[in-house]
Amino acid sequence: MHNNRHAALVFPLLLIGALATAAYADIAAGARSAIHTAYNKQNAALDREDAGGALASTSPDFMGTDAKGECYTLQTRKDGLAATFSLVKSMSTHTRIVAFTLQPAGTAADIEAVERQAITIQNPQTGQEQSGVMDMTVQDHWVSTTHGWMLQSRRQLNCNRID
């Protein structure tokens, strides 16, 4: 009889644990999908040289660190995009999520991603076009807000020209 009572208590606890794990997995999958969509929208905006669209999912308190350890803000990103777009002839950007970790509360996510950008620019000194492809590995921190998932910080790990 003692074993039956023990089994009657253990089974519901195991079931609750399994259901909680499944629910967390669903929340994580939804967050990953929403952030992947935000990356896709950001990339499409970059490709059409739309700075506002490219930064639409960026938190106002955004802070970034480049591969040299220099810090920059959302305003710095806006200014940098304007300067870049003035030289761009064409651009194609794709982001691949390499690692995804949803924080236990489900309100923040840490991502390692590789952003590949193929770009052709007009060299201002020579007037000639130059093309290249770069891979940039980043660690991004996203937060869930009333406006959806927002990029709050980025740390650039490396940037490599691949052609």
Name the token pair of 36: 């992947």
pLDDT in tens, 107-131: 999 999 999 999 999 888 898 999 9
Residue type at 72 in one-letter notation: Y
Q: What is the pTM of this model?
A: 0.82
Predicted local confidence at residue 22, as pLDDT = 47
Name the token pair of 74: 């959302």
pLDDT band at 19 (very low <50, low <70, confident <90, very high): very low
Q: DSSP letter string over 80-138?
A: HHHHHHTTEEEEEEEEEEEEEEE-TTSSEEEEEEEEEEEEEEE-TTT--EEEEEEEEEE
Tell me the C-alpha to C-alpha distance, in Å, between residue 88 and each of 40, 121, 135, 136, 159: 20, 4, 17, 18, 19
Domain extent listing, the chain: 2-161
pLDDT in tens, 36-71: 999 999 999 999 999 999 999 999 999 999 999 999
Q: What is the architecture of the domain spanning 2-161?
A: Roll (3.10)
Residue among 77, 50, 70, 67 at smallest CA distance from 151: 77
Residues in the chain: 163
- DSSP three-state, residue 32: helix
